Amino acid sequence: MIWIVPVLVLLCLLFTHRWRYSKEPPLERGIIPWLGHALEFGKDASKFITRMKLKNGNIFTVHAAGRYVTLLLDPHSYDEIINDPDSLDFGRYAQVLMERIFNLHLPLYQPEKAKAMMKRHFMGSSLSTLNSSMNRNMEILLKSEMPHNQRNWKQEGLFHLSYSLLFKAGYLTLFEGEQNNNCTDPSRVYEEYKKFDGLLCGLARGSLRKEAKATAYALQRKLWELLAPAGLGKSSGSSPWLHAYRRLLQDDGVDEETQRRAVLMQLWATQGNVGPAAFWLLGYLLTNPEALMAVKREFGQISQMESSGTPLLDKTMKTPVFDSVLEETLRLTAAPFITREVVREKTLHMADGRDYLLRKGDRVCLFPFVSPQMDPEIHPEPQKFKFDRFLNKDGSVKKDFYKDGKKLKYYTMPWGAGANGCVGRQFAINTIRQFAYMLLTNYDLELCDPNAQIPKADVTRYGFGMLQPVGDLLVRYKPKEA
């Protein structure tokens, strides 16, 4: 009977082992059964993917936690993934994340319907109302942090300042609408959300230990409670988009508890990235004096034209230097995975002429952070912050970047692309610009230690949108004297 164990192991290997068929991308199984490369992937996805790219080239399949994920890293071929809704499905993958992170099961999940509604509220003519409201909330919150008659420096971590202020302003703008007495205190929502945010990547990967998981679920329950009234007030008072989102869910027969879970998911989608992006932008400016001078000069020209209060920096205001700084900041710190589930076997036609088969049931993932964003052929000295990287010599916007001698359509991709690209993009850009303008024009803002360096990024957050720093960058600020 002793032979039965090796035979069982052999049978098990035979049935669970995946063989690479011809025309399929190189396969990286990893040596640990089922787990495969999951640990390395979760620890520092960028380092792992860069190593695999050096070994296998621009396409390969990785086995991780029982799944097979094909990484495609040639930006010339990205449209093959972004523009194929027939074989590749975003919704199914999103549904898995919704369940894992938010405990959310939407039986009639129709991303297209929700997306169309969001476009109506976040883009086009609604945008200027949203911008004014966000501007007002930012100003009120900044003044409450630092009244204009204050003469002493206030010392604070720049990440804390940027994330907490923009989260609260965004929450008031998008989740509360007109202020009223029943308004949930945005500081409480932020405090709980921030703790939840720290556990979010672990929840998504399914890698949290028992206690951390229990903490994450307790935080979720607290946030559901805090968000319970959001979007339910009279339509004139509550935020119009959240009101419409609630109505959409109600029309689909979604119960009250599930609605709260969905509202928490929207809090993450709309508030999770702007604060960290603003932190990196200001952090790079404060640690690069030449860049800071150039942006201040550009903002100075705007403030000279305005005599009454802080102007609303709308589309008509041209700020090419700031735009380049933001593009460069996001190139260095925006690191989302763009993932789709393969719902029908697909032949992927690479730009170099090779074809690869993608198997039904696998996932396919783009990681633009590795290429194009950190690709030295496209962006020389990619680790370095160069504020004018996206400016031509004559000061116009630079859009011509090349790989393999061919001009690129995608030379940086912080917002995703195609039908599932970010719907809040313009709102986010306006918000960060307005926040930077307010801080740099109305306040003296400087590093506490003039030699401080920008903190390193937390490498466990690759794949989840904007990176966050390890630690913080200590700054001090006070209102400018008139």
Q: Which of the stretches 243-251, 256-264, 308-316, 409-417 binds ligand HEM when contact is defined by CB under 6 A? A: 409-417
For ligand HEM, the nearest residue by Cβ is 424
Residues 426-445 that bind ligand HEM (CB under 6 A): 427-428
Q: Does 334 bind ligand HEM (CB under 6 A)?
A: yes
Residue closer to ligand HEM (CB basis): 30 or 111: 111
Residue closer to ligand HEM (CB basis): 59 or 326: 326
Q: Which of the stretches 135-143, 352-360, 404-412, 418-426 binds ligand HEM when contact is defined by CB under 6 A? A: 418-426
Q: Which of the stretches 5-13, 143-151, 206-214, 417-425 binds ligand HEM when contact is defined by CB under 6 A? A: 417-425
Residue closer to ligand HEM (CB basis): 370 or 466: 466
Q: Does 231 bind ligand HEM (CB under 6 A)?
A: no
Residues 141-200 that bind ligand HEM (CB under 6 A): none
Residue closer to ligand HEM (CB basis): 358 or 466: 466
Residues 349-408 that bind ligand HEM (CB under 6 A): none
Residue closer to ligand HEM (CB basis): 117 or 302: 117
Q: Does 421 bind ligand HEM (CB under 6 A)?
A: yes
Residue closer to ligand HEM (CB basis): 414 or 469: 414
How many residues touch ligand HEM under the rule CB under 6 A: the total is 24
Q: How far apart are the first and last CA of the chain?
A: 90
Binding residues for substrate, as ranges, are 100, 106, 273, 363
Minimum distance of ligand HEM from residue 153's CB (angstroms): 28
> Which residue reads 């007002």 in tokens?
136
Residues 97-126 that bind ligand HEM (CB under 6 A): 111, 115, 118, 122
Residue closer to ligand HEM (CB basis): 110 or 182: 110
Contact with ligand HEM (CB under 6 A) among 372, 424, 455, 463:
424
In angstroms, rounded to a whole number, what is the distance separating the alpha carbons of residues 443 and 148? 9
Q: Which of the stretches 27-35, 55-63, 67-75, 421-429 binds ligand HEM when contact is defined by CB under 6 A? A: 421-429
What are phi and psi for residue 447, nearest 5 degrees?
A: -70, 140
Minimum distance of ligand HEM from residue 364's CB (angstroms): 12
Q: Which of the stretches 306-314, 370-378, 424-432, 449-457 binds ligand HEM when contact is defined by CB under 6 A? A: 424-432
Residues 447-476 that bind ligand HEM (CB under 6 A): 465-466
Binding residues, as ranges, are 100, 106, 273, 363, 422
Structure token pair of residue 209 = 């230990």
Minimum distance of ligand HEM from residue 3's CB (angstroms): 50
Residue closer to ligand HEM (CB basis): 36 or 135: 135
Minimum distance of ligand HEM from residue 120's CB (angstroms): 12
Which residue in 44, 173, 40, 20 sits closest to 457, CA to CA? 44
Residue closer to ligand HEM (CB basis): 146 or 364: 364
> Contact, 334 vs 277, CB < 8 A?
yes
> Contact, 387 vs 328, CB < 8 A?
yes
Contact with ligand HEM (CB under 6 A) among 336, 372, 455, 469:
336
Peptide bond preceding 372: is omega within 30 degrees of 0, i.e. cis? yes
269-288 mask for ligand HEM (x: CB under 6 A)? xx--xx--x-----------
3-state secondary structure the chain: CCCHHHHHHHHHHHHHCCCCCCCCCCEECCCCCCCECHHHHHHCHHHHHHHHHHHHCCEEEEEECCEEEEEECCHHHCHHHHCCCCCEEHHHHHHHHHHHHHCCCCCCCCHHHHHHHHHHHHCCCHHHHHHHHHHHHHHHHHHHHCCCCCCCCEEEEHHHHHHHHHHHHHHHHHHHCCCCCCCCCHHHHHHHHHHHHHHHHHHHHCCCCHHHHHHHHHHHHHHHHHHCCCCCCCCCCCCHHHHHHHHHHHHCCCCHHHHHHHHHHHHHHHHCCHHHHHHHHHHHHHCCHHHHHHHHHHHHHHHHHCCCCCCCCCCCCCCHHHHHHHHHHHHHHECECEEEEECCCEEEECCCCCEEEECCCCEEEECCHHHHHCCCCCCCCCCCCCCCCCECCCCCECCCCEECCEECCCCCCCCCCHHHCCCCHHHHHHHHHHHHHHHHHHEEEEECCCCCCCCCECHHHCECCECCECCCCEEEEEECCC
What are phi and psi for residue 466, nearest 5 degrees?
A: -70, 140
> Contact, 282 vs 295, CB < 8 A?
no
Residue closer to ligand HEM (CB basis): 416 or 469: 416
Q: Does 262 bind ligand HEM (CB under 6 A)?
A: no
Contact with ligand HEM (CB under 6 A) among 140, 204, 422, 447:
422
Residue closer to ligand HEM (CB basis): 56 or 420: 420
Q: Which of the stretches 147-155, 254-262, 415-423, 436-444 binds ligand HEM when contact is defined by CB under 6 A? A: 415-423
404 Cβ partners below 8 Å, 6+ apart?
76, 352, 377
Binding site for ligand HEM (CB under 6 A): 111, 115, 118, 122, 269-270, 273-274, 277, 334, 336, 338, 414-416, 420-424, 427-428, 465-466
